[in-house]
Structure 1
Amino acid sequence: ISGEACGLNEALNLIDRLQLHKVIIETDSLTLVQAVEANKSIRRSWGVVVQRCIDFLRRNPSSSVKWIRREQNCVAHQLARWAEVEQNRDWAYSVPDCIIPLIQKDLGFCNPL
C-alpha cells in the first residue's frame, strides 16, 4: 500500500502544480480508495497521503478517487516502469511515447465523468 500511496501523493503534487480542480484519480488499490472514502485518520505511514487526498476532495467537490481493476490500469504501471529508468524526466506537459498505445486501450475501461 505504501507504493500506491506514494503514487497518489505524486498525482496530488501534479494536480496542484497544474492547478487542476476537476479530476478523476483512478487507482487499483482498493484499500487506499476505501481509506479515502471512510474519511478517517489512518495510523500508518501512508495515512498522511490519505488525509491529503481527503482534504483535496473537500476543496474540489467535482473531483473523485475511484478504484479500478489492475488490468485496467496499464498506463499507470507502464509509467511506473518508465519512471524507474527516466528518474529525472518531467512528463507533465508531454506524454512519454511508451504509453501512447496504452492510453487508447485504457480509454475503453475509464470510469465515465
Structure 2
Amino acid sequence: MPGDGAEIWVKPQQYTVKISVDAATFNDRHATGMGMVARDYTGGLVSAKTKLLQELLQPSMAEAVAIKEALSWIKEMKWDKTVVESDCLVAIQSIRSSVHMRSRFGRTIEDCRRIIKGLNNMELYFIKRSANRSAHELARLSHMYPDRIFDGSSIPVIVKDCIVLDSVEK
C-alpha cells in the first residue's frame, strides 16, 4: 500500500495526529508492554501513553493489542484525522484483510476493524523499526512506567531524544 515501508519517521499532514505504536515482551516479568506516541504535523509531541499487561503475549498478538489500544485512544481523545503506524507487518496485513480468524489474535484483529469503522479519516501503515524508535523505546520502558500518559515535560528523556532526532533526520 502507498505509504507503507517508511524507513524514517515522516511528519503527518497538517491537522493530523500520527500515532506510532510498538509492543515489548518481558519474559522475566511474564508481562507485555506497549508504547504509543502521538505527534502533530510539526513533529511535536501531542501525548504519549504506555500500557502494561501482566501477561506474556506472543509478539504478533502483543502488537495487535497495542494497535487496538492506539485505536481506542484515538476514539477516546476524539482526534479527527489520524495515522497509526506499526512495525508489525503481520498485524497490519491482518487488519487490512477480510479474512476471519478463529483465534484470540483473530478476535483482536476483528476488534481493530470494528474500531476503525467508527473512526473518520484514519489511515493505518506498516513502517520499518527504524521509523518507529520513539514507540519502541517507550514500549521497552513500559514496565517502569505502567499505564501512564505523558506530555512534553514528563516523557522519558530517551523517548524525547528519539522524537527530536525524528524531526531533524531527513
- For normalisation by structure 1, the TM-score amounts to 0.80
- What corresponds to 1:101 in structure 2? 161
Q: Could you tell me which runs of 5 or more consecutive residues in structure 1 were left unpaired when the two chains were aligned.
A: none
Q: Which has the higher contact order (CA 8 A, sep 6+)?
A: 2
Q: Which has the larger radius of gyration?
A: 2
Kindly indicate which of the two structures has a greater share of residues assigned to strand.
2
Question: What is the deviation of 1:11?
Answer: 0.9
- What corresponds to 1:18 in structure 2? 77
- What corresponds to 1:78 in structure 2? 137
- What corresponds to 1:57 in structure 2? 116
Q: Secondary structure at the match of 2:104?
A: coil
- What corresponds to 1:30 in structure 2? 89
Structure 1 residues 37-58: Cα deviation after superposition (integer angstroms, max 9, x where no partner): 1122222212222112222332
8 Å CA contact 2:72, 2:115 repeated in 1? no
CA distance in 1, matches of 2:132, 2:119: 24
Q: Secondary structure at the match of 2:143?
A: helix
Indicate the percent of aligned positions where both proteins have the same amino acid. 23
Kindly indicate which of the two structures has a greater share of residues assigned to helix.
1
1:87 paired residue among 146, 149, 156? 146
- For normalisation by structure 2, the TM-score amounts to 0.56
Alignment of structure 1 residues 36-47 onto 2, 5 Å: 36-47=95-106
CA distance in 2, matches of 1:108, 1:21: 26
Alpha-carbon distance change, 36 to 71 in structure 1, aligned in 2, over 3 angstroms: same
Aligned residues: 107
Q: Could you tell me which runs of 5 or more consecutive residues in structure 2 were left unpaired when the two chains were aligned.
A: 1-59
Aligned-CA RMSD value: 2.0
